[in-house]
């Protein structure tokens, strides 16, 4: 009887500590989101999205070039990383599951997922920025693509493995070639999961600053992919470290915009996963 009471007390204690830890984490999460929202909403206006940054010490202006630059580099990174990641994930799931090459690719992908982003930024700086003689938006997109690649690869592999093998066997029994089975049956069944991987990868790189400091750097003007390109994260860093109150306000606005974007992508991913689990 004493042993049973001890187990009950220990269970209640662990449950209480777990609930307390969850409450503390939720409290800080709400605190951070609320603080960023309160401080950042005031800086969001029409000029924030349509005007270029103002010179140092001059009030007004906006972050239009930084917003567009971030979108360009993120989209370009996705165009580079998503096809390669899906192909690599398909190989790991369908062809190289137990091969030595498959184990090696899987191991390297797991390492790359946890690699510090600043290391990737330094790597791209050494192989692209320094040899080409200058910072560029293209180098920034490449660094973001390297960060996205292992996320898409591993997510693709796991989502394709969730597709029942009977679906492959049924398509092959009807005479469909294997590539046709993959494209018309397996990929279609895993569409929601593949899209989830892409959204997670985009959310992963949305707030990255360190790799862009070494690759794209920053610019207050409209630029192209061969020049330093403005982006929200580095602009936020520069504005937050400045002595100007107006730049501080815009830094909070940029923080709110990044946070809201990541939150929207995360919520969208959750909805996609929930809809998939109901099918």
Q: What is the pLDDT of residues 21-39, one digit of tens each?
A: 999 999 999 999 999 999 9
Residue 239 maps to which CATH number?
1.10.3720.10
Model pTM score: 0.88
Asked whether residue 30 is domain-assigned, the answer is: no
Asked whether residue 41 is domain-assigned, the answer is: no
Query: How would residue 148 be classed by pLDDT, with cut points 50, 70 and 90?
Result: very high
Provide the H-helix boundaries in the chain. 2-41, 46-50, 64-90, 100-114, 117-124, 130-132, 137-161, 165-173, 178-181, 187-189, 191-206, 210-214, 232-240, 245-278
Specify the DSSP class assigned to residue 61.
B
Asked whether residue 253 is domain-assigned, the answer is: yes
What are the tokens at 156? 């693709």
Domain count, the chain: 1
What are the tokens at 55? 């010179």
Query: How would residue 147 be classed by pLDDT, with cut points 50, 70 and 90?
Result: very high
Q: Which residues contact 134 (CB under 8 A, 6 or more apart)?
A: 227, 228
Q: How far apart are CA 250 and CA 252, in angstroms?
A: 5
pLDDT at 277: 52
Asked whether residue 244 is domain-assigned, the answer is: yes
The domain in which residue 212 lies consists of 60-278
Query: How would residue 142 be classed by pLDDT, with cut points 50, 70 and 90?
Result: very high
Asked whether residue 214 is domain-assigned, the answer is: yes
pLDDT at 91: 92
Asked whether residue 106 is domain-assigned, the answer is: yes
Asked whether residue 84 is domain-assigned, the answer is: yes
User: Using an 8 Å Cβ cutoff, are 194 and 159 in contact?
Assistant: yes
What are the tokens at 23? 């409450």
User: Using an 8 Å Cβ cutoff, are 254 and 66 in contact?
Assistant: yes
Q: Which residues contact 133 (CB under 8 A, 6 or more apart)?
A: none
Residue 43 has pLDDT above 70, yes or no: yes
Asked whether residue 35 is domain-assigned, the answer is: no
């Amino acid at each position: 009887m004493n042993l049973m009471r001890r187990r009950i007390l220990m269970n209640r204690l662990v449950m209480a500590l777990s609930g307390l830890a969850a409450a503390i984490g939720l409290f800080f999460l709400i605190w951070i989101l609320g603080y960023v929202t309160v401080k950042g909403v005031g800086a969001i206006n029409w000029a924030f999205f349509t005007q270029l940054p103002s010179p140092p010490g001059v009030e007004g202006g906006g972050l239009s070039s930084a917003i567009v630059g971030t979108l360009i580099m993120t989209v370009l990174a996705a165009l580079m990383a998503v096809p390669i990641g899906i192909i690599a994930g398909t190989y790991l799931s369908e062809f190289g599951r137990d091969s030595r090459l498959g184990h090696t690719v899987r191991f390297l992908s797991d390492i790359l997922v946890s690699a510090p982003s600043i290391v990737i930024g330094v790597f791209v700086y050494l192989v692209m920025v320094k040899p080409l003689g200058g910072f560029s938006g293209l180098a920034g997109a490449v660094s973001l693509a390297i960060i996205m690649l292992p996320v898409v690869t591993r997510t693709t592999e796991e989502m394709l493995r969730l597709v029942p093998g009977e679906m492959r066997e049924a398509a092959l029994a009807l005479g469909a070639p294997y590539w046709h089975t993959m494209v018309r049956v397996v990929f279609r069944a895993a569409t929601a999961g593949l899209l989830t991987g892409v959204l997670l990868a985009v959310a992963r790189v949305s707030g990255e600053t360190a790799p862009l400091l070494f690759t794209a750097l920053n610019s207050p003007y409209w630029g192209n992919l061969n020049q330093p390109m403005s982006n929200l994260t580095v602009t936020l860093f520069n504005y937050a470290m400045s002595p100007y109150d107006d730049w501080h306000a815009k830094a909070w606005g940029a923080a709110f915009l990044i946070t809201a974007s990541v939150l929207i992508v995360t919520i969208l991913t959750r909805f996609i996963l929930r809809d998939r689990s109901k099918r």
